[in-house]
Amino acid sequence: MPRKPSLASLSINAGAPPPTEGSAFRHGPEFASTFHLSGDVDPDSYQYGRFDQPTWRSLENGFAQLEGGDTVIFPSGMSAASAILTSLVNPGDTILLPSDGYKPVRHYTQQYLVRFGIKLKTVATADIDSFDFKGISLALLETPSNPMLDTFDIQAAADKIHNEGGLLAIDNTTLTLLGQQPLELGADISMSADTKAVNGHSDVLFGHVSSKDQSVSDKIRDWRKYSGNIPGPMETWLVHRSLSTLDVRLQRMCDNALQLAHVLIEHPKVLSIRYPGLSSDPSYATAKKQQLNFGFIISFELDNKAMADKFLEACQLVYVATSFGGVHSMAERRARWGTDDIAQGVVRFSAGCERPDDIINDVVAALDTL
């Protein structure tokens, strides 16, 4: 029996049309606000551009194959998160969010859902393994968390929330579908801001939501249709094209992050470091158990704000920006936003696809100026 190809190999072609003689390997983006449609409406036909269209369907099929669940695409990670938070709860339900996760997700819930009778609870990611999920209807959690890279056991959290009749959604942005498989690990929903590593070229915002439960993905798809939060065909096509190189990019990025983490942990100017791939890191055991790689994000602490700013200025190859997952190494002093409860000197570093010796030399030279 031939062995089934890995997800990594499948990602090169996932969702592309089957090979037929004389046809292109990929179709281009299809631009259409409406489609020829006469007589009675066939639910499987394309009808109107806000409902469904061919470029979306190709990428959704590709994601579905890799995630293991029906997939709905969105124009940003936040629209994917909003779809989950808005379409799966009722007044009186309690949503659980990480207190140390991506702040706009908590902001959206507080600002737009709590006033309609939804309750919000928060928990630190490091405390989730011992958390009692009593009364939680929906949890949207991140592992590893961003920016401090704490982890929790997805399967254990899924078992606990299922006992309460609730749903577990995992924001898988920091690892991507090739770095962790939330649905395989027991979560009900896997979502991602594909703006980050899945697209990877810092030129498109995008997101998706996947679920094995058809009633969940039907509600998510309906929310997209009626809220009008739809992605453009060009962005959809660019993300699909990027998916083909995700595995090779991740390999270089994660290798760079691991090598850099080993250098940073020894550097006298670095007070502390978090990287789940270091065996001394509190996230190591869980990451090794449930992740397919250790990721490309490192957080490390320098003495103070001035030192962190000076370090960032001194880097030549590293772009200073508030994102992660791109082909360029990127870093920022995270406390500049005032949104995370972290020390002023913490730098979030996203390793890119540069040659490892180049990126390590650049970072060490910048640290040596301090």
Ligand X SMILES: Cc1ncc(COP(=O)(O)O)c(C=O)c1O
Alpha-carbon distance of 184 to 125, in angstroms, equals 20
Of 60, 67, 70, 171, the residue at the interface with ligand X (CB under 6 A) is 171
For residue 32, CA distances in Å to 29, 39, 47 come to 10, 20, 10
| Shortest CB 355 distance to ligand X, Å | 26
Of 52, 70, 100, 142, the residue at the interface with ligand X (CB under 6 A) is 142
| 109 DSSP assignment | I
Decide whether 73 or 205 has the Cβ nearer to ligand X: 205
> By CB under 6 A, is residue 173 in contact with ligand X?
yes
> By CB under 6 A, is residue 242 in contact with ligand X?
no
Q: Is the peptide bond before 75 cis (omega within 30 degrees of 0)?
A: no
Find out whether 186 and 153 touch, Cβ atoms under 8 Å: no
- The residue count of the chain comes to 370
Categorise residue 165: left if φ over 0, alpha if ψ from -120 to 50, beta otherwise.
Answer: left
> By CB under 6 A, is residue 138 in contact with ligand X?
no
Alpha-carbon distance of 317 to 309, in angstroms, equals 15
Nearest Cα neighbor of 190 from 173, 214, 213, 171 is 171
Decide whether 154 or 366 has the Cβ nearer to ligand X: 154
β-bridge pairing 330-333 and 319-320: parallel
Of 29, 69, 207, 295, the residue at the interface with ligand X (CB under 6 A) is 207
| Shortest CB 14 distance to ligand X, Å | 21
Give all strands (DSSP E) within 67-163, no chain letters. 70-74, 94-98, 119-123, 138-142
| Shortest CB 362 distance to ligand X, Å | 24
Decide whether 137 or 145 has the Cβ nearer to ligand X: 145
Q: How many residues bind ligand X (CB under 6 A)?
A: 13
Decide whether 78 or 89 has the Cβ nearer to ligand X: 78
Decide whether 53 or 173 has the Cβ nearer to ligand X: 173
Torsion of CA 88, 92, 96, 100, to 10 degrees: 110
Site string for ligand X, 43-82 (x = CB under 6 A): ---------------------------------xxx--x-
Residue sitting closest to ligand X (CB): 77
Please give the residue ranges that form the binding site for ligand X (CB under 6 A). 76-78, 81, 102, 142, 146, 171, 173, 193, 195, 205, 207
